[in-house]
Amino acid sequence: MDNLLGLWQESGLYLMTPGQMVMIAVGLLLLFLAINKNFEPLLLVPIGFGGILANIPGAELASSAVDAALHGAHPDVLAAFAHTLGLEIGSSLEAVKDAYNHASVSVQSQLSLQAADFGYSNGMLYNFYSVAIASGIAPLVIFMGVGAMTDFGPLLANPKTLFLGAAAQFGIFATIMGAVGMSYLGWMDFSIADAAAIGIIGGADGPTAIYVSSLLAPELLGAIAVAAYSYMALVPLIQPPIMRALTTEEERKISMTQLRVVSKREKIAFPIVVLILVAMLLPSAAPLLGMFCFGNLMKECGVVDRLSDTAQNALINITTIFLGLSVGSKLAADKFLDPKTLGILALGIVAFGIGTAMGVLMAKLMNKFSEHKLNPLIGSAGVSAVPMAARVSNRVGLEANPQNFLLMHAMGPNVAGVIGSAVAAGVMISMVQSMGG
């Protein structure tokens, strides 16, 4: 009878908390959206599945050894932890948790060794997270793969479209102001680092958003990544109303001149030019843009096709699997079910909207000063989300004029948006870290 009772107390049904139940439902919802609605399935399938794994009661897959030990709350373990943290023996669980969260890195690693002594180990997803995301590796490897898949031809043929990519980054900074405003009004408790990490959702670039939030606000990473990828999937719904509202029928009909042919040598030189400029002007953006340029150079130089092929296929696929599962590990109930998540989801969609609007308005502004008219619809592609946003520009353009193919023209601002959000990410990381918040 005792054995039966023990088995029951070990079972998922007995240990399940309401929060975990809700999060498993969220994971299933993400899987449904990915499989049935085709919402960024490459990311949302691993994220949704990882989210379910992270909420399996009793398994503690997403917890570190210390978290698992604190969860077990054995008196001997607590006493040992309290001793290491310099608390009185017999301190409460909450006091130990609080002291642990505020302890220095060296003390925290001491505690994790101590937890190992007591037989606790890191959960599987926690290990994935520390290797793939906490180290920064997975988003950077993905950025390299994206670089190896990017064709800068349309951008090189019309470099002015870089300005559209710059303007669309206003969404990032407007969202930061939104997040800061929310904390000022006392609705939410976002620090400036949190605000910066939320703002980067407006960059509409998954790896950049994950990279920035892993550095600035790791506890919000789950919500930020889910918001970024869900809204990227929703770009075809979010953007067109904004684009139509800001342009006239005449402007949407503007057809653009054929892009000139870009030579191989220009394409090879471009990533090197970007790299040199980053090195000289903006070293803080070097990890992201360095990997991006490296991937692109491998593609364009034509002598390392094997490496380029690996970067854009096998390697990016492997990395995506672990990135997705690691992001899923951040969907543990105690961290995700927080009013902040709602704030992040709300701010994220505003970020996309403002970015789209600014790209379109910038294109209209440039038309005032230039002879070669731009179709303002390509401005919306400045919010990265490659290649979805460019396809949206093309589709809305075809509605106004069935002979008007904007896809290649929109790819220019689209890849400019990738560079723009990486630059914005670099600036924010260095500024926020120097603010000490």
Partner 1 sequence: MQESIIQQGVDLLIFGMGTVFVFLTVLVIATLGMSSFIRRFFPDAVAPVTEPAPTTPSNSVDPRHLAIIKAAIEKHRNKQ
Give CB contacts under 8 A, 24+ apart, made by 66-73.
66/100, 66/108, 66/111, 66/112, 66/115, 66/120, 68/115, 68/120, 68/121, 68/122, 68/123, 69/115, 69/118, 69/120, 70/96, 70/97, 70/100, 72/120
- Smallest distance from partner 1 to CB 283, Å: 12
Q: Which is nearer to partner 1, 366 or 389 (CB)?
A: 366
Q: Which is nearer to partner 1, 59 or 427 (CB)?
A: 427
Cis bond leading into 18, ω under 30°? no
Any idea which residue has 């139940």 for tokens?
21
Distance between CA atoms of residues 353 and 391, nearest Å: 17
- Smallest distance from partner 1 to CB 183, Å: 6
Distance between CA atoms of residues 123 and 435, nearest Å: 34
Helix (H, G, I), strand (E, B) or coil at 331: coil
- Smallest distance from partner 1 to CB 157, Å: 9
Task: Give the type of residue at 435.
Answer: M
Distance between CA atoms of residues 127 and 394, nearest Å: 42
Q: Which is nearer to partner 1, 33 or 297 (CB)?
A: 297
- Smallest distance from partner 1 to CB 44, Å: 29
- Smallest distance from partner 1 to CB 191, Å: 8
CA 142: distance to chain centroid?
Answer: 11
- Smallest distance from partner 1 to CB 233, Å: 25
- Smallest distance from partner 1 to CB 18, Å: 33
Q: Which is nearer to partner 1, 152 or 352 (CB)?
A: 152
Q: Which is nearer to partner 1, 140 or 182 (CB)?
A: 182
Q: Which is nearer to partner 1, 73 or 281 (CB)?
A: 281
Gyration radius from the chain CA atoms: 24
Residue 31 contacts residue 49 (beta carbons within 8 Å): yes
Q: Which is nearer to partner 1, 169 or 329 (CB)?
A: 169
Which residues form the interface with partner 1 (CB under 8 A)? 155-156, 159-160, 162-163, 165-166, 169-170, 172-174, 176-177, 179-181, 183-184, 191-192, 195-196, 261-266, 269-270, 273-274, 277, 281-282, 416, 419-420, 423-424, 427-428, 431-432, 435, 437
